[in-house]
Amino acid sequence: MDSLRSTPVSGALLVLADGAVFEGEAIGARASVTGGEVVFNTVLTGYQEVLTDPSYAGQIITFTYPHIGNYGVTSVDDEAARPFCRGVIVRELARRPSSWRAEGDLDHLLRSHGVSGIAGVDTRRLTRHIRDAGAMPGAFGTADEATLLAAARAEAGTDGVDLVAEVSTREPYTVGSGERRVVAYDLGVKSMMLRRLGDLATIEVVPASTPAADVLAREPDGVLVSNGPGDPAEVGYVTEAIRGLLGEVPLFGICMGHQLLATALGGSTYKLPFGHHGGNHPVRNLATGQVEITSQNHSFAVAEGSVASADVTHVNLNDGVVEGIRSRDALAFSVQYHPEAGPGPHDARYLFAEFEELMRRAS
């Protein structure tokens, strides 16, 4: 590591907890220090959906694609009312958006929500570093290197932290207009997920802390357990609710919902070295043999062989991670990836129809 140095006001540094240093310049909401767990995402488009995905709470997002912000931003593409990520790292921020849909530029979006960023970073070098060393805490900003290094090492990361409580809705609300009635646990649910399901059902979105008895009192045709941030082992209250719902109502889990269904069925989870964050992950459907290109955003995974009462339905072809399970004893299934595809390919959209079929069988 180079000797400690001060950062010019117009510039910024990114410092990882292991001492690695990357130079850049401040973008978004200016801050002397911004800390969080540094991860990378490999999407080529969909940067706004990524930034507003609540599953990134506690994390700093590195975009591997070198040009970010090219087509600006529009409120239609927001996945939540505001970004929950700690910050953003890019190689080059587009100076001028070019799209008929654009309502503004990315830098303005970041500033309006108080999200700090750093541009001009060698993101190829940073991605390779994270790939080899694993996701780790970091800090960036206009402060000097020593201050940023101390901040990075003081960061808790996402292990052992309940981040769901930070992003979940405080009060129930209703969306969609379909014939079925679905209760959706909001662990950090994305707007596109509700839109896809809203074609099939009228959805009552409830806080993550809602007990199973309160859900069953609503007499739903099915229950969705959504995506969410952080360590699934720290949201045992949701796992307990799922146990109370199994066998009572059809259940569909997505992303963290997948991890929590597996846990409720007796399984266990672990943290991946650098997670799956991107829109191009190949997953094999074991029932059909077909390969689906999927959108993913998770740092934890279900331990292979840990769910004795469920069949594995999907596996990741990159590293063998369990990507889907189906309970043998209850009308319940889940996938680790994002079938709503916001952003990403639409190969897995059929899973919403499978959920509807499950509800039809139970009615």
Catalytic residues: 255, 338, 340
* 3-class secondary structure per residue, the chain: CCCCCCCCCCCEEEEECCCCEEEEEEEECCCCCEEEEEEEECCCCCHHHHHCCHHHCCEEEEECCCEECCCCECHHHCCCCCCCCCEEECCEECCCCCCCCCCECHHHHHHHCCCEEEECCCHHHHHHHHHHHCCEEEEEECCCHHHHHHHHHHCCCCCCCCCHHHHCCCCCEEECCCCEEEEEEECCCCHHHHHHHHCCEEEEEEECCCCHHHHHCCCCCEEEECCCCCCHHHCHHHHHHHHHHCCCCCEEEECHHHHHHHHHCCCCEEEEEEEEEEEEEEEEECCCCCEEEEEEEEEEEECCCCCCCEEEEEEECCCCCEEEEEECCCCEEEECCCCCCCCCCCCCCHHHHHHHHHHHHHC
